[in-house]
Amino acid sequence: MVNAKGELAGLITMRDIDRVQQYPLAARDQRGRLRAGAAVGVGDYERIDALIAADVDVIVVDTAHGHSQNVIDTVKTIKSKYDIDVIAGNIATAEAADDLIAAGANAVKVGIGPGAICTTRVISGVGVPQVSAIINCARAAVKHNIPVIADGGVRQSGDITKAIAAGASSVMIGSLFAGLKESPGQLVIFKGRQFKEYRGMGSLGAMVKGSAERYGQKSSTEKDKLVPEGVEGRVPYRGTLDDFIYQLVGGLRAGMGY
């Protein structure tokens, strides 16, 4: 490709064209790269600086309790220092949505304990039914034209329909994708069936690897010093992502037709 002056402006190969035609709905930036987001904890400014330098597209301030002063302050700091979109969560109330949006959040993430292998509601006694939480937050977010991301509670394609109908703009999926070929879990054979290993962010294994701060706990490699809010397990192997996404989208399309 050349510009009006005949100067080289870019290089496009047939492979690039094939990729665009094969994946027309892929989210890409102005340079044709797939968009990428990354999660950070509260006050983790060294990691934020590194992510910005790596051209990340969105920062997610990700904690189990998003309606806290530390999260609000972190969102304010990022927005004042960088020109980048920030997602903040997790929350479950309209008041939380209002406060995070006022701090500068470009989207809010909703979900306290609905995950398939999350035990927050049992361990801490805290949680809100997911559809109710989405409705609560969406009523506040819609006033500011801010999207709501429903995080957790998606067991079937019909749950996506419910989340969207309740006011969410998108959903985050964990357990359904955990059984796919492309997921990082180890493929195992159990009683003649294929499974993939899966662990929650609040599981002991994940906390030891660094997710403890998300739950307001200090990082530690000593398991007896941590209080898990999730478990580890196995999920049935479901095949490839491409085929599975087709089924999920089909279910959502059917739901929207009723």
Query: Which of the residues are catalytic?
Result: 118, 214
Q: Distances in Å between the alpha carbon of 187 and those of 21, 33, 42, 137, 153?
A: 32, 30, 34, 37, 24
52, two tokens: 């910005």
Sign of the dihedral defined by the CA atoms of residues 185, 186, 191, 193, in that order: positive
Q: What single DSSP character describes residue 8?
A: B
Q: Distances in Å between the alpha carbon of 51 and those of 45, 60, 70?
A: 10, 11, 20
- Neighbouring CB atoms inside 10 A of 70's CB total 15
Sign of the dihedral defined by the CA atoms of residues 249, 151, 154, 38, in that order: positive
CB 106 within 8 A of CB 84: no
Residue 89 β-bridge partners: 62, 109
In whole angstroms, what is the distance from residue 75 CA to residue 59 CA?
9
Strands 170-172, 148-151: parallel, antiparallel or unpaired by DSSP? Answer: parallel
Chain position carrying tokens 């964990």? 174
Q: What single DSSP character describes residue 117?
A: T
- Residue of 139, 121, 142, 123 whose CA lies nearest to 131: 139
Amino acid in position 134: I
